[in-house]
Amino acid sequence: MSERKLEYLSQDQVNQFRKDGYLRLPGFLEPDEVEVLLTRAKQLLDNFSVEDHPLTKFTTGDDNHVGDEYFLTSGDKIRFFLEEDAVDKDGKLNRPKQRAVNKIGHGLHEQDEVFRKVTLENEKMKSVVRDLQFHHDPVALQSMVICKQPHIGGEVPEHNDSTFLYTNPPSALGFWIPLEKCTPENGALSFLPGSHLTAPITKRFVRMPGGGTGFEQLIPPEEAPKNPEGKYILEACMPGDLVIIHGSVLHKSERNTSPHTRFAYTFHMIESPPYAEYDAKNWLQPTPETPFPHILETPNPTVVPIGA
């Protein structure tokens, strides 16, 4: 088989991604591109109407995931999810709305011109996808701006993304772009390098038959291997970096204890049929009007499978 010519990544970067399960690309977006995204995110917050909002809070623990209709029908819309600590016991915001939103999601890449451009119309992004050879014919889904608000931006515990965007076989790949500086104090991401090679997907996040969401075990808990142990690596990032995240690699972020926001734009890709199945159990569903958009005009002819 002839070696394909890399377009954006070096072979060392491709190898590092396959070994570690994640890869940081410094300065992937130019400063002016970052400024456009950050400005647009803040405009969306300014224009967000609290009056007709169901005050849906977003939580990250295993036992309390949001499952109402506002969340479940957000895949092709721009919606606002609040920090747990931003709503008081009477259901009222206890701070300005711009400082109360946990994230804006989940259809920014389709519904907003600015985010669509960086996600679906970005030639550098397409080059990275071709270079990684992770997917044959990837589609985009679940885009969001994560605000990580000062002092209340919640901890995100150890997890992997294929649990929440499950395909058979697992194929999720995350693309994470900080729009502001990410530090240990404001909740930068940490990764367990190599964990994608030894941590199988043991459960998946699903729509429950009776409504709402929950987890379905893929491997009985008593048979599931323990999560690998090791030293988490904190990846401090600058605005415009791109972090590529394998769907099985374990990662987390701490609470934002600083006085600064930590805005980041993130979206995901999964493999499309016939290479993988994304079924009706998944919380986020495409609609006839908005099927998941394809990234590449011409699919990758070959892929290199990696992961447990």
pLDDT band at 87 (very low <50, low <70, confident <90, very high): confident
Q: What is the pLDDT of residue 63?
A: 46
Q: Which comes out higher in pLDDT, residue 52 or 98?
A: 98
Q: What is the pLDDT of residue 56?
A: 60
pLDDT band at 192 (very low <50, low <70, confident <90, very high): very high
- Mean pLDDT value of segment 73-77: 94
Q: What is the pLDDT of residue 91?
A: 79
Please determine, for residue 57, whether its predicted confidence score (pLDDT) is greater than 60: no
Task: Yes or no: say if 131 and 9 are a contact pair by the CB < 8 Å rule.
Answer: yes
Give the number of other CB atoms < 10 A from CB of residue 103: 19
CA–CA gap between residue 116 and residue 119 (Å, rounded)? 5
What's the pLDDT tens digit per position in 245-283? 999 999 999 888 899 999 999 999 999 999 999 999 999
Please determine, for residue 13, whether its predicted confidence score (pLDDT) is greater than 90: yes
Cis status, amide bond into 299, omega within 30 of 0: no
pLDDT band at 2 (very low <50, low <70, confident <90, very high): very low
Task: Yes or no: say if 284 and 209 are a contact pair by the CB < 8 Å rule.
Answer: no
- Mean pLDDT value of segment 207-220: 91
Average per-residue pLDDT for the chain: 91
Sign of CA pseudo-dihedral 288, 290, 296, 300: negative
pLDDT band at 64 (very low <50, low <70, confident <90, very high): very low
Give the residue from 251, 229, 80, 236 showing the smallest Cα distance to 156.
251
Q: What is the pLDDT of residue 3?
A: 66
CA–CA gap between residue 153 and residue 18 (Å, rounded)? 31
CA–CA gap between residue 202 and residue 299 (Å, rounded)? 29
Sign of CA pseudo-dihedral 280, 102, 78, 270: negative
CA–CA gap between residue 308 and residue 300 (Å, rounded)? 22
Query: 175 forms bridges with which residues in the sheet?
Result: 244, 267
Q: What is the pLDDT of residue 53?
A: 84
Q: Would the pTM count as exceeding 0.95?
A: no
Q: What is the pLDDT of residue 140?
A: 98
Cis status, amide bond into 293, omega within 30 of 0: no
Percent with pLDDT over 70 in the chain: 95
Name the burial class of residue 71, with classes exposed (0-12), middle (13-18) and buried (19+) by CB atoms within 10 angstroms of its CB: buried
pLDDT band at 132 (very low <50, low <70, confident <90, very high): very high
Range with lowest mean pLDDT among 158-162, 163-167, 257-261: 257-261
Q: What is the pLDDT of residue 68?
A: 81
CA–CA gap between residue 209 and residue 227 (Å, rounded)? 29
